[in-house]
Amino acid sequence: MGEGQVGFVGELIGGVLRTRACGTTAAAVDEATGQLTRSLGTLGIDVAVEKRTIDMAAFQAEPLASNRIWIGGEPLEALLSASVGKGECCGSCGDAECRTATVDGTTHEARPPEMIVRAGLLAAARLLG
C-alpha cells in the first residue's frame, strides 16, 4: 500500500469462501471498506482492498493464516489489542481449528464490520499521526 492508503489484506481458504466464518468476514470487509472509503476519503486517505487466497495445503500447514486481516501493514488484532485464538471450524476445513479474535472479552470467529472499521480508523489515525 502506498502513502496515504489504508489497505486491507484478507486471506481466505482455497480460492473460494469455504467456511461460514471466512464468507461472513469477506462480506464484512466489503461493508467496512465502503464505510471507511466514505469517511476517510474526505481526509485524503484512499482505502484499498486486496483479497488473497491460501490453498488447502497451506491452510492445513498453518490454519491460523485463515480469516486473517491486515490493515495498514498490521494485523487487525494488533491494532485492536486483541488476542488470536482457535475455534472449531464449521466442517469445511476438516479437523483444523480456524482463527478467532478476542476483542474486549468477546471472541469472534467471523470479524464483524464494526471491528474492521474500528481497526481501519486506528490505522488512519496513525497514518495522519
Model pLDDT for residues 35-66, shown as the tens digit of each residue: 999 999 988 888 888 887 777 777 778 878 77
Report how many domains make up the chain: 1
d(Cα 55, Cα 60) in Å, to the nearest integer? 9
Which helix H or strand E contains 89, and what residues bound it?
none
- CATH number of the domain encompassing residue 67: 3.40.30
Output the pLDDT for position 92: 62
Output the pLDDT for position 19: 56
Q: How far apart are the first and last CA of the chain?
A: 17
Stretches in the chain below the pLDDT threshold 50? 1-3, 5, 7-18
Provide the domain limits for residue 107: 5-128
